[in-house]
Structure 1
Amino acid sequence: MIGAGMGAMAAAARLAVAGHRVVVYERTDTYGGAVRRFERDGFGFDTGPGLLTLPAVYRDLFVKTGKEPLEDCVELVQVDPSSRHLFPDGTEAALPNASRAGVVAALDEALGGGAGERWGDFLVRAREAWDRTRRPLLEEPLWPNWHVLADKEPYPAVPHKRLLRTRRASTLSEIGAWELRDERLAALLTSSALAHGLDPRTAPASAAVLPYMEHAFGTWYVRGGIRELARAVYERCVRRRVEFVFGAEVLSILDKEGRATGVELMDGTVAEADHVVADVDPARLMEMTDPPLDGRGDVRADPFRTGPGRFVVLLALRGARETGAAHRTVVHAPDPESELDFLDSAKGDEPPPPTVTVLRPDDPALRPDDGHESVVLSAVVPSTLDWEEEGVLRLYTEHLLEAAEAAIPGLRDRVLWQEVRTPDDTDDETSAFLGAVPAPSLAAGQGRFLHPSNTTRLPGLYRVGGWSHPGGGLPHAGMSGALVAGLIVEGPGFRGSQ
């Protein structure tokens, strides 16, 4: 197995339980892929995902690989409110966790004008899209006739009386303009897309399933940080006798008579295998196979399409976290169109202020004492930016700090020190091309939002993790591990969990 990301480890544990000897070769010195932790002076920070949706994916993994349930290995806490939103016009809204009625009431009170009802109606339609796509997109291997998923929009058409006809939204932005009819509700939708590295102007309407997932299954935090989830999965693998070799970079995938037969490491070591599972992005996978596995012609496996990355500022603060502070606050961009234009082209005089997510976990494990606080600020940024160019790093840092001041009282006076992380750091840690972060797979959009299938054109070689079906995100990585394990154990006839 190449890489010790969350998808690879989820597959490794399942395969080990099924009787396979599994060896994981990881280029870096630790496990977890992008799920990492930075520690200094008693402060701890998640540098990758900070929250978890669909914990059932990892509950299933732990049930299927041993007697200890997930909750015996990590402490899961529902985050409430799920998120607090600060809008450019000065209004704000705190959204309850996993409660449609509560969200409707909160939005009506905060925004008025029937905003809550419109958002509630949107969630009903998003559920319909979810019901139509959940199994083929998340629980089954990618269909050979994947064009069926690519060509049909699962988000339901909405009749507009003014037009006297049915008008179907084809993008998230059109949902915001035609159905939500409020710039602040549209900003809620935009922030949900941006969190996954998607531009709402081009993301298909089927991306409505992303805010629906969070609403329906809740937002969860792992006590001690999300890194604790990676630790628990790694320890489950070790208990099932999965072998890990760290500091071992794979140079190439060996093949004999048209079948993958093992890997060659950078130091010349050759390891034979019956199956090879790669948790790497398509660009790196191309370098490992001869001839290259994928080409530009396959829209679902085009390594030259680079999505955005994440810019992160870690803050060590003096002073206690105030009572009742929200775990997650989203500070919406003052000019969303400029933000999206820059994200798309990375061109312009200077980067405009982005949408900023502020994470403030109330977790003693992440601070030296109750008189301090650890905070993570993040924004989605073009992965093609030159972070060594004078002023770019400084300007983005200032943008994030300025936005965070709206969420954290007296922020500037509380900063002890800060650590900045760019997509270049993501590239170094995960080998993701330019530090891009993969989005979840989505239906519609002519297949541009589907990821490569878990099987490949080289028999015996499988893809796993965020750069393969069903795409990026912690839940999706866990699902990809289940799919790959099923394909190896049951063969090409595997059709997913029942």
Structure 2
Amino acid sequence: MRVVVVGAGMGGMAAAARLAVAGHEVVVHERAGTHGGAVRRYARDGFGFDTGPGLLQLPAVYRDLFVKTGRERLEDRVELVQVPVTARHVFADGTSVTLPNASRGKVIAALDDALGAGAGERWAGMLTRAREAWEATRRPLLEEPLRDEPSSRGALARDRAYPALRKKGLLGRLRTRRAGGAAGPALAEIARDELRDPRLAAMLCGCAWAHGLDPAEAPASAAVLAYVEDTFGTWYVRGGMRVLADALYERCRERKVTFHFDSAVTGVREKDGRASGVELADGSTVDADVVVAGAGPGAPGGQGGNGRGMARFTVLLALRGARPEGTPHRTLVHRAEAPGQPLTLLRPDDPALRPDDEHEAAVLTLPVPPGTGTGSGTAGEFVERLLTLTDAAGLGLSERLLWHDVRTPADYEAETGAPGGLVPPPALPGAGGAFLHPANPARLPGLYAAGGWSHPGGGLPAAGMSGAMVAGLVQDPEWRGSV
């Protein structure tokens, strides 16, 4: 079969590589001039910065992709590094805690030492309940394609994944009814009730916030995001995450996938009740037996996401002076005026991203509503406000600043085509299905959706999973997921 993939993002390329190995003729049309979607790099004066995701979870998704498309390990193409520290949290009251990566016992001890006896056990108890939610929903959420049918959505829509610890009266039930009419506790509620420490609550809510989810609206099942991070660890790709996108692009090319850049798709063609190709911006058409839409909302064939998520303000910081010894890769700066909505600072120890060892590259990110500007001030004043917060946290970035570059939601919109610079959040079970993304098979036969704007949502692991799901469905429309 001839397959046209719309968009050369990570989900689209994951689908393209798998379909090409299955013997299909695959052609990718990408509106931008390069591959990778939001996984980009900015370089200047010897500094390099990830402008999209800076860390990787569940690398097994890409390990499986490379093995299945070429009997080759991912590590033969990229250098994966498991960071020793998941994150350092600096709280508004001046306390801080550094969490070891993928070591529950050490995390418990660190929390007790920093926040007081019992803090670690409360955090571990929450993660144990999150594990139950993970085990109950992992397969239908991450291994099986989502279909537009009640049986497919029903199992994920119920709040059984992470129910409230105790039954509530009528007033409590009314308080837990979130936007859209979905009943069940919100993440902020279970953080308050179960963790009983505003700093622990800020840690849990901050995990969802970093994924572009409002903890006051996200269902309690968002606790699985913290569980995945704690259990499976956090990884970095040496040279930056763009190296992973480059490796996937090269894998596609090796499997004879054809790419056309600066080639915007404006419509999906239909014939005899099914997708039959695409229309391009130059007025030409491309015939196909199958169309895979890997692009975002508003793109032809795009399903539009679930209407949730955040955009990003990102500040790329070129710093004078060597990276201080013991600096964690990731620091979350919690804000008194916005509990559970921290700033994220990434400081990779990677010589490939700095001109020499007497300089440091860092990336400061704040999720914001899509389309947000810098407020009443200039971009420079906005950066100054953010740096003031990091200085108050004792990070001392302002005095070392050589230069900076600002990436606004408008910049991301221009780069990715996503309205307002919106970044798709991961799909979540519960909440009546309000946090699920559109199904992988579209209602038009022969049209499928991959990437962050379709099931199972945003993030590098989910993008790779969506590609596997679509490839399975193209091979067999009745395919129900991996074994």
TM-score, normalization: structure 2? 0.92
CA change 1:385–1:157 in 2 (3 A) is closer
**Distance across 2 between alignment mates of 1:226 and 1:406:** 29
SS at match of 2:383: helix
Alignment of 1:21-420 (within 5 A): 21-143=25-147, 144-145=149-150, 146-159=153-166, 170-282=185-297, 284-285=298-299, 288=300, 305=307, 307-336=309-338, 355-387=342-374, 390-391=376-377, 393-406=379-392, 409-420=395-406
List gaps (5 residues or longer) in structure 1. 295-300, 341-353
**Distance across 2 between alignment mates of 1:409 and 1:158:** 38
Equivalent residues, number: 465
**Distance across 1 between alignment mates of 2:433 and 2:313:** 28
Letter in 2 for 1:432: A
Letter in 1 for 2:116: G
Alignment of 1:427-438 (within 5 A): 427-438=413-424
Tell me how far 1:423 sits from its aligned partner. 1.0
Tell me how far 1:413 sits from its aligned partner. 2.1
- Contact 1:249/1:265 (<8 A) preserved: yes
**Distance across 2 between alignment mates of 1:160 and 1:2:** 47
Provide, for residues 153-181 of structure 1, a one-character-per-residue CA deviation record: whole Å limited to 9, x for no partner.
311442599xxx99996111111111100
Does 1:494 pair with 2:479? yes
Tell me the equivalent position of 2:180.
Answer: none
SS at match of 2:189: helix
**Distance across 2 between alignment mates of 1:471 and 1:263:** 24
**Distance across 1 between alignment mates of 2:144 and 2:464:** 13
**Distance across 1 between alignment mates of 2:394 and 2:49:** 17
**Distance across 2 between alignment mates of 1:9 and 1:483:** 13
Tell me how far 1:240 sits from its aligned partner. 0.6
Tell me the C-alpha RMSD between the 2 structures. Answer: 2.1
TM-score, normalization: structure 1? 0.90
Letter in 1 for 2:275: A
Letter in 2 for 1:367: R
Q: 1:450 aligns with which of 432, 436, 454?
A: 436
- Contact 1:7/1:465 (<8 A) preserved: yes
CA change 1:407–1:17 in 2 (3 A) is farther
Tell me how far 1:226 sits from its aligned partner. 0.7
- Contact 1:258/1:458 (<8 A) preserved: yes
SS at match of 2:267: strand
Tell me how far 1:118 sits from its aligned partner. 0.1
CA change 1:448–1:396 in 2 (3 A) is farther
Tell me the equivalent position of 1:14.
Answer: 18
SS at match of 1:19: coil
Provide, for residues 46-99 of structure 1, a one-character-per-residue CA deviation record: whole Å limited to 9, x for no partner.
000000000000000001001220001000111111100000111000001001
**Distance across 2 between alignment mates of 1:408 and 1:91:** 11
Tell me how far 1:447 sits from its aligned partner. 1.4
Letter in 1 for 2:348: P
**Distance across 2 between alignment mates of 1:237 and 1:302:** 26
- Contact 1:129/1:156 (<8 A) preserved: no
* Between 149-158 and 69-78, the greater mean CA deviation after superposition: 149-158
**Distance across 1 between alignment mates of 2:473 and 2:392:** 49
**Distance across 2 between alignment mates of 1:112 and 1:386:** 40
- Contact 1:248/1:266 (<8 A) preserved: yes
- Contact 1:153/1:206 (<8 A) preserved: no
List gaps (5 residues or longer) in structure 2. 177-182
**Distance across 2 between alignment mates of 1:360 and 1:172:** 28
Tell me how far 1:215 sits from its aligned partner. 0.8
**Distance across 1 between alignment mates of 2:366 and 2:18:** 34
Tell me how far 1:392 sits from its aligned partner. 5.5
Tell me how far 1:302 sits from its aligned partner. 6.3
- Contact 2:213/2:308 (<8 A) preserved: no
SS at match of 1:158: coil
SS at match of 1:137: helix
The structure 1 segments of at least 4 consecutive aligned residues displaced by more than 6 Å after TM superposition are 165-169
Tell me the equivalent position of 1:351.
Answer: none
Letter in 2 for 1:50: G
SS at match of 1:355: strand
**Distance across 2 between alignment mates of 1:404 and 1:450:** 34
- Contact 2:30/2:261 (<8 A) preserved: yes
- Contact 2:94/2:393 (<8 A) preserved: no
CA change 1:355–1:414 in 2 (3 A) is same
Provide, for residues 254-286 of structure 1, a one-character-per-residue CA deviation record: whole Å limited to 9, x for no partner.
11122111111111121111100111223x13x
**Distance across 2 between alignment mates of 1:276 and 1:151:** 32
Tell me how far 1:336 sits from its aligned partner. 2.2
Percent sequence identity over matched residues?
A: 60
**Distance across 2 between alignment mates of 1:402 and 1:204:** 32
**Distance across 1 between alignment mates of 2:75 and 2:82:** 13
Letter in 1 for 2:35: Y
**Distance across 2 between alignment mates of 1:136 and 1:398:** 45
Letter in 2 for 1:378: T
SS at match of 2:102: coil
Tell me the equivalent position of 1:350.
Answer: none
Tell me the equivalent position of 1:344.
Answer: none
**Distance across 1 between alignment mates of 2:287 and 2:344:** 45
